[in-house]
Amino acid sequence: MSSHDPALLRRLAGSLGTPFWLYDASVIRSRIAAIRTITSGEGVQARFAMKACPATKVLKEMAAAGIWIDAVSGNEALRALRAGHAGGQEPPVICYTSDVFRDNALQVVLENGLLPNIGSPGMIRELAAAGYRGKISLRVNPGFGHGHVNSCDTGGPSSKHGIWHEDLANANAAAGAVGMKVVMLHAHIGSGPQFDELLENLGRLVDEFSREAILLPHLEAVSLGGGIPHNYRDPHAVLPLEKLAELFARARRQLSEAAGRPLRLEIEPGRYYVAPACTLVTRVTDVKETRDNPKGKGATFAMVDAGFVDLVRPAMYGSWHGIEVVGRSPDELPEPIVVAGPLCESGDVFTRDDAELLQPRDLPRPVPGDLLTLRDAGAYGYAMSSNYNSVGRAPQVWLEPDGSLQLISRRETVEDVLKAETDEPLAV
């Protein structure tokens, strides 16, 4: 993704204030097209793990492209329905995946006929108690997986997700005993940093599911989850996606042969579709310094008006996002700069590593009033933003290739922050 026109960013900052989010429609469509290409083979279907970026505008792009949805809460499923994705199970355009039925999730699944993808055996009991006797999917923890940090592992003994692979037969028997049919097997092994590692683990997963498919007489589909990585340090890096297309074709043949009938093969990327498509734009309010003392080295801090209420990933697990000083030449002599936000929290720093240590960036020294951009923020950016410190969420802007702009969510006010508070008497 190329840098945005500095003049455009300054006009938006002048009109909307800062911080704000800027989505590039052409990048999202390019990523959708890439996924459609590698899933164009017979019997292969792509989903969007919408938790990465659930904006209605993005969901509508997915619907227009025939991309199905993986939702992980009742409200996510309702958002997908409102954006035009179909309910029901013929086909199961919206799959509900979770390890716990929370809030309205069970009701949404039942009322809209969604396919429930079960991550904990107890959910079968809950469905049965609610009168459900239909099709289900089982999410399996295959015993292996990867993430860019340990806290993001989605498979293996330390992962909370899914039913341990050695317990799959028991879960299938429990489902059959209450009149449910297991029609899909699912696993998500995470989006680790190495593409070759993804290919290797997907191959292992296909072998595992081939052995398990024999035990499931009603199986219709197998989902290999998401996991296509995005290179945050080199967003222009090109992945050999054709290798995935070849793997999917082989996998579907192998799984169908094991089951003795044609199966649908699914994948559900999230990050890959949207990560490079969004930039968080913030303004420098001050530049200040600390100095060396016995406790450690001093640092130069560029204070900005965006914080982890906007983009939490660096504070949560030391994620790396490219940072630019808008309109400044890359040929300027850089200095090590720590970029920090406004929140009353010491961890409100965008330039830190996964050990929670400061990791200054070499940047042209900014001055108050400069705009900074935090790049590749489309995945788990706005989606994970919050109202900590009673800060309103920043607005989201959509940019079309012809230069037209659309405000797709406004800046939240204190009324938005307070709207759920009540003085309502409660009788229990």
pLDDT digits (tens, 9 = 90+) for 130-152: 999 999 999 999 887 655 444 44
pLDDT at 191: 61
- HSE-CB at 304 with a 13 A cutoff on CA atoms is 32
- Distance between CA 428 and CA 426 in Å, rounded? 6
pLDDT at 357: 86
Percent of the chain with pLDDT over 90: 88
Q: Mean pLDDT, the chain, as a whole number?
A: 94
- Catalytic residue selected from 53, 95, 278, 344: 344
Q: In terms of DSSP H, where are the helices of 130-192?
A: 168-177
pLDDT confidence bin for 3, thresholds 50/70/90: confident
pLDDT at 154: 61
pLDDT at 401: 97
pLDDT at 148: 44
pLDDT at 329: 85
Percent of the chain with pLDDT over 70: 96
Query: Hunting for tokens 């409660």 — which residue is that?
Result: 426
Quick one: average pLDDT of 318-336? 92
Residue limits of CATH 3.20.20.10 in the chain: 25-273
Give me the torsion for CA of 51, 187, 232, 12, rounded to 10°.
-10
| pLDDT tens column, 108-130 | 999 999 999 999 999 999 999 99
CB 90 within 8 A of CB 64: no
- pLDDT higher than threshold 80 for residue 156: no
Domain 6-21+275-414 has CATH 3.40.50.1820: no
- pLDDT higher than threshold 80 for residue 193: no
pTM reported for the whole predicted model: 0.94
DSSP collapsed to 3 states, 317-374? HCCCCCEEECCCCCCCCEEEEEEECCCCCCCCECCECCCCCECCEEEECCCCCCEEEE
Residue limits of CATH 2.40.37.10 in the chain: 6-21+275-414
Quick one: average pLDDT of 181-204? 87
Is 344 an active-site residue? yes
pLDDT at 1: 55
pLDDT at 152: 45
| pLDDT tens column, 79-111 | 999 999 999 999 999 999 999 999 999 999 999
DSSP character for 51?
G
Fold of 25-273: TIM Barrel (3.20.20)
Tell me how far CA of residue 378 lies from CA of 22, 50, 132, in angstroms: 9, 12, 37
CB 369 within 8 A of CB 283: yes
